[in-house]
């Protein structure tokens, strides 16, 4: 069996977790196994903070922060790596830390952080731990080889911070660079990072190691992809808000993608695409209960008894309402709005247009809202098309997800009457064409109440 297994930051939090995870791999590895790892927990955040602040820090402080990062990794080497590999492993760490230091000092001297240099800084989280973890496994007599995402063959566009694989090249290279080890050594590959065609390091977006695992899995035509997480699986709702939320045992790619997109932070939103393309089952496996089957994601769209499988909430979003009688019957306005936002790298989460055509409503990430308003205003400057843009910064999207929803009469009615009965006002409803999702916007302060009402109505 050929399996790609991904382990995130929690699996590598400290020396104890590293040992736990290494032993887990020893026990569950298959004939052909590939491992993808992300950074130790908190390291990517720390690197991000450093990159952002390094311009205002003095050299001593920068060195001190780097030393702390180094120390966390060194402890793992000391506690988990066999004596005979210690020196080799420490040398690798030392070289990488020096590179990190040069990078940060460079940014600090130049006084400017570009998206490209940010990605370079962020790449160190994975680059530091992957070789160490490889030596930890060697110390357990498992034959491994460590590779960065780009050495594995993932080549992306130059969209730093949110890069996309160039499939043709990636597929060919991954098959060569990783394929040759299958059944011989276990490749330990850094998640999250890749490089563009010019060889510059890119990242796939925060949480991108899941994506790395499915990219590799799809290039290698794996039998399964296992994403180990410190949760029980995908849940019917966020258990922090709904304590009796249940584990979803089986779900389709499309449904799980909707959940990821609308805020179930368990999965990177793009991660399922490559697996879906090749029809490779993805398992969300509980890191601390590896015998448990967790959640299985496949192409099968089973209808659950009550149609609704899960409810996701996306907070920290803002709604824009764009008005103007000048928009009526004028083709291309929506396209121009969307293009203006796309050019500014602003992601639109939800769209709706009233049938009178005098307004278009959009939902964007809250942090993008000012940029979005500016972009739209400047697109239509001097024209008498848009009269006004209203903005509500404190909203949340609720996404009710389940196969066969749109085709079943009465589901929408039940959704909205449950929300109304809970006293929550609905501000906007999406008219998306997805067969598996009804989504709507409420004031953020009402979103937990609405979620509770819906979970009770449909799940338990
Ligand atoms: N280390 C990266 C992050 O924290 C990627 C990942 O965790 O998947 O975003
Ligand atoms: Mg992570």
Q: Are 350 and 428 in contact (CB under 8 A)?
A: yes
- Structure token pair of residue 438: 């009804």
How far is the C-alpha of 126 from the C-alpha of 101, rounded, in Å? 16
Q: Which atom in ligand 1 lies closest to the alpha carbon of residue 205?
A: 9
The C-alpha angle 451, 444, 232, rounded to 5 degrees, equals 45
Q: What is the pLDDT of residue 64?
A: 97
End-to-end Cα spacing for the chain:
38
Q: Which atom in ligand 1 lies closest to the alpha carbon of residue 39?
A: 1
Q: What is the pLDDT of residue 305?
A: 72
Smallest-distance ligand from the CA of 203: 1
Q: What is the pLDDT of residue 152?
A: 98
Q: Which atom in ligand 1 lies closest to the alpha carbon of residue 204?
A: 5
Q: What is the pLDDT of residue 453?
A: 97
Q: What is the pLDDT of residue 68?
A: 98
Helix, strand and coil in the chain, % to nearest 5: 45, 20, 35
How far is the C-alpha of 340 from the C-alpha of 346, rounded, in Å? 9
- Counting every residue written for the chain, the total comes to 460
Closest CA to 427 of 370, 365, 350: 350
Q: What is the pLDDT of residue 407?
A: 74
CATH for the stretch 310-458: 3.30.2130.10
Q: What is the pLDDT of residue 302?
A: 75
Per-residue DSSP letters for 257-297?
HHHHHTT-TTS-TTTHHHHHHHT--EEEEETT-TTS--EEE
Backbone angles phi, psi at 250, to 5 degrees: -140, 135
CB 233: neighbour CB atoms within 10 A? 22
Smallest-distance ligand from the CA of 209: 1
Ligand 1: lining residues by beta carbon, under 6 Å: 8-9, 38-39, 44, 125, 191-192, 206-209
How far is the C-alpha of 121 from the C-alpha of 47, rounded, in Å? 6
Q: What is the pLDDT of residue 309?
A: 92
Measured in angstroms, how far is the CA atom of residue 446 from the centroid of ligand 2? 29
Parse the chain into domains and list their residue ranges: 2-230, 310-458
Closest CA to 330 of 380, 382, 385: 385
Measured in angstroms, how far is the CA atom of residue 229 from the centroid of ligand 2? 9
User: Coil, strand, or helix at residue 366?
Assistant: helix
Handedness of CA 385, 387, 392, 398 (dihedral sign): negative
How far is the C-alpha of 314 from the C-alpha of 237, rounded, in Å? 12
Smallest-distance ligand from the CA of 45: 1
How far is the C-alpha of 306 from the C-alpha of 386, rounded, in Å? 43
Backbone angles phi, psi at 269, to 5 degrees: -55, -30
Ion ligand 2 residues within 5 Å by Cβ: 8-9, 38
The dihedral formed by the CA atoms of 272, 273, 277 and 280, expressed in degrees to the nearest 10: -10
Q: Which atom in ligand 1 lies closest to the alpha carbon of residue 206?
A: 9
Q: Whose CA is nearest to atom 5 of ligand 1?
A: 207
Closest CA to 227 of 307, 294, 309: 294
CB 203: neighbour CB atoms within 10 A? 27
Measured in angstroms, how far is the CA atom of residue 57 from the centroid of ligand 2? 26
Measured in angstroms, how far is the CA atom of residue 37 from the centroid of ligand 1? 9
Q: What is the pLDDT of residue 432?
A: 60
Q: What is the pLDDT of residue 373?
A: 96
Q: What is the pLDDT of residue 431?
A: 59
Q: Whose CA is nearest to atom 7 of ligand 1?
A: 207
Measured in angstroms, how far is the CA atom of residue 457 from the centroid of ligand 1? 35
Strand 295-298 and strand 282-286: the pairing is antiparallel
Measured in angstroms, how far is the CA atom of residue 121 from the centroid of ligand 2? 16
Give the CB-side neighbour count of residue 411, counting CA atoms within 13 A.
Answer: 22
Q: Fold for domain 2-230?
A: Carbamate kinase (3.40.1160)
Measured in angstroms, how far is the CA atom of residue 268 from the centroid of ligand 2? 10
- Structure token pair of residue 432: 């998306």
- Structure token pair of residue 221: 């035509």
How far is the C-alpha of 413 from the C-alpha of 400, rounded, in Å? 12
The C-alpha angle 380, 381, 385, rounded to 5 degrees, equals 45
CA distances from 427 to 179, 349, 430 (A): 51, 15, 10
Q: In testing the pocket of ligand 1, which one of 5, 6, 8, 9 has its CB within 8 Å of the most ligand atoms?
A: 9
Measured in angstroms, how far is the CA atom of residue 289 from the centroid of ligand 2? 19
User: Inter-axis angle of helices 59-80 and 15-28, to 10 degrees?
Assistant: 40
Residues of the chain with pLDDT under 50: none
Give the CB-side neighbour count of residue 215, counting CA atoms within 13 A.
Answer: 35
């Amino acid at each position: 069996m050929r399996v790609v297994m991904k382990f995130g930051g929690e699996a590598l939090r400290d020396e104890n977790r590293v040992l736990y995870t290494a032993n887990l791999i020893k026990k569950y590895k298959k004939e052909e196994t590939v491992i993808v790892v992300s950074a130790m927990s908190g390291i990517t955040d720390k690197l991000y903070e450093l990159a952002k602040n390094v311009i205002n820090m003095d050299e001593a402080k920068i060195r001190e922060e780097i030393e702390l990062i180094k120390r966390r990794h060194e402890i793992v080497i000391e506690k988990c790596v066999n004596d005979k590999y210690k020196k080799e492993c420490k040398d690798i760490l030392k070289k990488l830390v020096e590179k990190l230091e040069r990078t940060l000092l460079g940014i600090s001297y130049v006084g400017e952080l570009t998206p490209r240099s940010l990605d370079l800084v962020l790449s160190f989280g994975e680059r530091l731990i992957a070789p160490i973890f490889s030596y930890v496994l060697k110390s357990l007599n498992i034959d491994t080889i460590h590779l960065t995402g780009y050495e594995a063959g993932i080549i992306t566009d130059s969209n730093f911070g949110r890069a996309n694989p160039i499939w043709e090249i990636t597929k060919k290279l991954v098959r060569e660079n990783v394929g040759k080890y299958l059944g011989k050594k276990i490749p330990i590959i850094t998640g999250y990072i890749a490089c563009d065609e010019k060889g510059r390091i890119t990242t796939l977006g925060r949480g991108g190691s899941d994506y790395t695992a499915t990219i590799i899995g799809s290039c290698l035509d794996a039998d399964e992809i296992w994403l180990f997480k410190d949760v029980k699986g995908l849940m019917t709702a966020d258990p922090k808000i709904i304590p009796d939320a249940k584990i979803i045992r089986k779900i389709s790619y499309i449904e799980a993608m909707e959940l990821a997109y609308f805020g179930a932070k368990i999965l990177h939103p793009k991660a399922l695409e490559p697996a879906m393309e090749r029809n490779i089952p993805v398992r969300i496996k509980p890191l601390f209960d590896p015998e448990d089957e967790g959640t299985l994601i496949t192409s099968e769209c089973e209808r659950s008894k009550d149609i609704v499988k899960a409810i996701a909430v996306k907070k920290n979003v803002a709604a824009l309402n764009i008005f103007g009688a000048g928009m009526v019957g004028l083709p291309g306005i929506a396209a121009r709005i969307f293009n203006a936002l796309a050019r500014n790298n602003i992601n639109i989460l939800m769209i709706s247009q009233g049938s009178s055509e005098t307004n278009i409503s959009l939902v964007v990430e809250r942090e993008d809202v000012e940029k979005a308003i500016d972009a739209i205003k400047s697109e239509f400057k001097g024209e008498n098309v848009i009269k006004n843009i209203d903005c509500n910064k404190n909203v949340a999207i609720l996404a009710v997800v389940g196969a066969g929803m749109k085709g079943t009469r009465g589901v929408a009615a039940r959704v909205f009457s449950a929300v109304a009965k809970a006293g929550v006002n609905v501000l906007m409803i999406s008219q998306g064409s997805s067969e598996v999702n009804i989504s709507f916007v409420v004031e953020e302060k009402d979103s937990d109440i609405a979620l509770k009402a819906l979970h009770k109505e449909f799940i338990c």
